[in-house]
Amino acid sequence: MILIFVFLSGSVPTCLFPLTTRTNGGDEHLFTDTERNLTSTKMEAADLHLNIDYVGTSGTVLSPEQKAALQTSLVIQQNRYKFHRIYFWGKILGIKDDYFIAQGTQRDEMAECKTLYSKDCVNWGLLPPATKAMREKSKLAKGRFTGDPSHEFEHVQTKKSADGEEGHEEEETILIKEEDRLASVIAEIDEDVKIVPRAAFIKTPTGETLSNRCFEGLSVSEAAKLCSYMHFREPKALFEKTLLQKANLDKSIDFLDTVEEDIPKGCWSLQFERGSGLVTLRSLWWNGFVFFHVPGSRRFGHVYVGIGEKNLDLPFML
């Protein structure tokens, strides 16, 4: 904590405002308490005890012991891995134990994101990056997570081979580590349903995706529209739009896909709570995913608490 004093003639030193520091890769940055509050978004460790209550109506709760352990241990992991920010991502339920998930990002939150997991909210392990081959292989695993990262799922695959005119079948056993499956499921959830309010992030001329310091929250009327929420990943449908559709877009904030274009229609459930003081979006593809936003403020975030299985029956349920 650094205090700035102004010496007035004939008076004692007067404190104008306290400043706090944040270290990012060895560089020390100063900002006021007002600026610190402006940069406080998502499920950051510092405000976890406040933000988790916004999704309490969806059944997502943490015990006081878990909140205290997460707030302390996540700060330690942030300093250990030199993260610019660290967020509580959610919890994947297992048969024996549950996995608590956290994600750390650098200044460009879309460019680099690392995922951590823990079973006791104190000791954390780093998950490997989910490659395309790993994600395809993990889809072969069936059943719920066990809660043991070293557990291996077995998948028996039958192959037909032809020797001359006669063919016979061969069985091949594929082993899938639960740790790899966990990383793949988290990556798939992020790609499908990780969302942010429109204009919460901006794209700079250098290609970086940074938090928008001018973002003051959506209005109540904007918060009621699905087009005001965007997928926080590389865009897919944006490149398929015509020039006429792109004419009214702002390149600095409309560089992501909106959830309004998701298929099938109706895969998101939008509800207002506390009058119009809180809006929540629940994904029907991934049961247990909840996004919240307080209209007129910078508070927004998301959390997933579920078994890590996609609801593939959704198209037949709508």
CA triplet 184, 186, 188: central angle to 5 degrees? 70
pLDDT value for 247? 77
> What are the distances in angstroms from CA 3 to CA 29, 101, 115, 242, 267?
15, 36, 36, 54, 51
Show pLDDT as tens, one digit a residue, over the chain (318 residues): 555 444 444 443 333 433 333 444 444 343 334 434 444 456 776 778 788 888 888 888 899 999 999 999 999 999 999 999 999 999 999 999 999 999 999 999 888 899 999 999 999 999 999 999 999 999 999 899 999 999 999 888 887 765 555 567 778 888 999 999 999 999 999 999 999 999 999 999 998 999 999 999 999 999 999 999 999 999 888 777 777 777 778 888 989 999 998 999 999 999 999 888 999 999 999 999 999 999 999 999 999 999 999 999 998 987
Q: Among candidates 259, 315, 255, which has minimal Cα distance to 285?
A: 315
Strands 85-92 and 300-306: parallel
- What's residue 318's pLDDT? 79
Q: Which residues pair with 99 in a beta bridge?
A: 92
Predicted pLDDT at 163: 59
Cβ atoms within 10 A of the Cβ of 214, count?
8
Q: Prior bond to 64 cis, omega within 30?
A: no
* pLDDT score recorded for residue 190: 95
At residue 217, the pLDDT reads 93
**Apex CA 70: angle with CA 69 and CA 73, to 5°?**
80
CB 90 within 8 A of CB 189: no
The type of residue at 66 is Q
Strands 99-105 and 85-92: antiparallel
For strand 166-177 and strand 152-163, is the pairing parallel, antiparallel, or unpaired?
antiparallel
The rounded distance, in Å, linking the Cα atoms of 132 and 191 is 13
The CB density around residue 219, as the number of other CB atoms within 10 Å, is 12
For 101-144, the pLDDT digits (tens) are 999 999 998 888 999 999 999 999 999 999 999 999 999 998 99
Rounded Cα–Cα distance for residues 97 and 99 (Å): 7
Q: Please report the pLDDT score of residue 309 as a whole number.
A: 94
What's the pTM? 0.81
Return all residues near 316 (Cβ < 8 A) that are at least 6 apart.
none
H or E stretch at 73: helix 64-81
| pLDDT, the chain, mean | 84
| 154, two tokens | 């077995």
- How far is residue 261's CA from residue 264's CA, in Å, rounded to a whole number? 9
Q: What are phi and psi of 227, to 5 degrees?
A: -70, -5
Q: What ranges in 112-238 are assigned the alpha helix state H?
A: 132-138, 178-193, 220-223
Tell me the one-letter amino acid at 287. Answer: N
311 by Cβ neighbours in 10 Å (0-12 / 13-18 / 19+) ranks as middle
